[in-house]
Amino acid sequence: MITLNRITVAGLLVLSCSTNILASLVVLKNGDRVSGVVIFSDDMSLTIHSPLIGDVHVPWKTVQKVDIQESVYLPAEARKDRSRADRTPKVAAAPPAQSVMSTQKGDGFFRKWSGSIDPGFTLTQGNSNSRTLSLAINTGRSSGKYKIALSTYWLYANNQAAGRTFTTARAVRSGLRYDVDLNASRFVFASADWESDRFQQLDLRNAVGNGLGWHLVKRDNLRFDLIGGANLNREHYATGLRRNFVEAIVGEESNYRPNQHLTLKTRLVVMPNLTESSHYRSTLDASAITAITKNLGWQVTLSDRYTTLRLLTVKRNDLVMTTGLRFGFSR
């Protein structure tokens, strides 16, 4: 538990360094606006990563004007057209089809981050006295063919009865993943996940793995990836039990944007246990985000954790659903 708390605190410190709201802005001819970090640009289009709705692929022919904070390549027509590029002094020419991030030398690791913060709080008073607090933070940085993502989730709940306070939930989950594109359709990844849950009597689960991924669908409004690989899973329980496993990884990730305001995201991973072949774990995270402003949205998130190999007194499934405001940030 102490190890996980240190990891989580370190992650939060990194996140707190990346909340400077200096986002680029793209205004489309239909009046829509997209803000975030420009991660790619060539003669045909640009890609901007929005904290709320993810990557948005924008053809230049649909752009009315841009306000870009990065040193970004623009095609010749856009550089001449002041109405489409109203900050041309900041624009540096780069070879077509190169990533914007790969052309920048002085940005440093703590720039070009974007992400979101989802706080939640519930209070009841009277016949029922309870408090529930949750916090989810997700952030990432893309630089050409490289991508890093960090996440952390914290849940605490208690209930008061007969003058006593009972803790009914206390869980922490954190994750790190690093992707490198091999080509337009394939990538490799390395990941690490940490989890602690008092009522599973789980002090720490540490799963470190790597594998190969495929971009099966990569369109303007839809991305669908498949991943496969292997994990080394170490589990420490409050009972003193220690277990080490090797797990396979099979999963999918999708991001669907039916319009400029709604984004649907899913991530399902199944991990068959290769050491104890009759057992497996699975994780499911699904969310729907509605953008209200460029840095504010409303989210509904479903998170499910399932394992067949658990302590006899513990249930196999843990399901959490949260809803509330989402605050986006970029740097």
pLDDT at 265: 96
**Predicted local confidence at residue 263, as pLDDT:** 94
Q: pLDDT of 284-316, one tens digit each?
A: 999 999 999 888 999 999 999 999 988 888 889
> Which superfamily does 110-330 belong to?
Autotransporter beta-domain (2.40.128.130)
Instruction: Note whether 155 and 170 are within 8 A (CB).
Output: yes
Based on its alpha-carbon atoms, the radius of gyration of the chain, rounded to whole angstroms, reads 22
Distance CA 69, CA 80 (A): 18
Level-2 CATH architecture, domain 19-103: Roll (2.30)
pLDDT at 92: 40
Q: What residues contact 183, with CB distance under 8 A and at least 6 apart?
A: none
CB 90 within 8 A of CB 75: no
**pTM to 2 decimal places:** 0.70
How confident is the model at residue 324, as a pLDDT? 92
What string of H, E and C letters represents the secondary structure of 255-272? EECCCCCEEEEEEEEEEE
pLDDT reported for residue 21: 45
Q: Tell me what pLDDT residue 112 has.
A: 78
Can you tell me the mean pLDDT for 111-130?
Answer: 86
Cα pseudo-dihedral 142, 143, 148, 149, rounded to 10: -10
* For residue 96, pLDDT beyond 90: no
Band the pLDDT of 228: cuts 50, 70, 90: very high
Other Cβ atoms within 10 Å of 258 Cβ, number: 10
pLDDT per position as a tens digit, 134-176 = 999 999 998 888 999 999 999 999 988 877 888 888 999 999 9
Q: Is the pLDDT of residue 72 over 70?
A: no
Query: What is the domain partition of the chain in residue ranges?
Result: 19-103, 110-330
Taking CA atoms, 210 is separated from 130, 151, 213, 247, in Å, by 41, 17, 10, 11
